[in-house]
Amino acid sequence: MDELVDKVVMVHPNLTQDPANRQGQTGSITNVVHENDEVFVRFDDNNIGLYSSDALFLLKPASLILESLRSAIYGIDYLDSKDIVGILDVYALQASGQIKEALKLAIRNETVRIASIVFVDDWIDRGYTDEQDRGQSPNIGR
């Protein structure tokens, strides 16, 4: 789980049990104890919160975000132009290192959220890695 350390995450905005009261806020993972389903998150004020992996969102690898766009372009999935622009905006923010902004944008629209963010537990279960994006071309029409 070391690959998740320092990743920027967002606390689920509708989390009902949050002793740290950080719903919708972003922070960076400092430690993951997978066996206990514990994810420690440091926020901008340096306070640390403890969360389960299904309470935190993070961006999908860029290659998977682009795959959502490819599906729309080739007619596999239908996305309206507003959703396509939203996904492209999230991708551009991610590519420029503005991860917090990308998460905040993605959470506003359900279709964009589904295309571009995932719960930490899904990231782990699906075996996502940043390595998926190494060597990928940003050419959408590949």
Q: Where do the domains of the chain lie, and which CATH numbers do they carry?
A: 2-57 (2.30.30.30), 58-118 (no CATH)
Residues, the chain: 142
Q: pLDDT by residue (tens digit) across 9-44?
A: 999 999 999 988 999 999 999 999 989 999 999 999
Q: pLDDT by residue (tens digit) across 78-125?
A: 778 898 899 999 999 999 999 999 999 999 999 999 999 999 999 999
Q: Give helix 99-106 / helix 81-95 axis angle, nearest 10°.
A: 160
Nearest 10 degrees: CA dihedral of 67, 68, 71, 74?
Answer: -80
pTM value is 0.85
